[in-house]
A = this chain, B = another copy of it.
Amino acid sequence: MSQMPAIQTILAKAGLRPTAKRVALAKLLFDGVDKHVTADDVMEMVRRKRLRVSQATVYNSLNQFCAAGLLKRIVIDSSSTVFDTNTSHHHHLFYEDDGHIVDLAGDSISLLGLPDLAEHESLLSVDLILRVGRAHD
């Protein structure tokens, strides 16, 4: 189990003030276990823990965490945005059946033949999603 720094430290390093709501949400997210959550998932966690955090604050905080580099926004399905607590370079296996997502180490797959970009352009990210479903046989 990876040892996480104190929540206060995580927020401080990201330049975010450790307010009550942010600390509460960060505790839910940064517990050392990688997670993939939607805003609604977080609302559900908040409800279960009987916390008092509004939906707007959940959305705002997730966006702030993203901007600060604590979360990564992943685009899997246009129905809702998923946030990933694993911010390192990696890929995703997406199970269409139940919607769960599994991380694949970034170096486990190699991509050959990536195109050259123009001088003034840069590759911001390489997003690879493997969609998996039940075999149809």
Binding site for B on A (CB under 8 A): 73, 75-81, 93, 96, 104, 108-115, 117, 119-136
Identical subunits present: 2
A108 → chain B, closest Cβ, in Å?
5
Residues of B within 8 Å of A123, CB to CB, are 130-132
A126–B124 CB distance below 8 A:
no
A130 contacts B108, CB within 8 Å?
no
Report B-chain residues with C-beta under 8 Å of the C-beta of A130: 114-115, 123, 125-127
Q: How far is the CA of A80 from the CA of B114 in the complex (A)?
A: 26
Q: Which residue of chain B has its CB nearest to the CB of A126?
A: B130
Complex Cα distance, B79 from A111, in Å, reads: 28
A111-B130 Cα distance, complex, nearest whole Å? 11
Q: Is the CB of A110 within 8 A of B108?
A: no
Q: Which B-chain residue is minimally distant from A133 (CB atoms)?
A: B124
B124 touches A132 (CB 8 A): yes
Closest residue on chain B to residue A125 by CB atoms: B131
Enumerate chain B residues within 8 angstroms of A124, measured Cβ to Cβ.
Answer: 96, 131-133
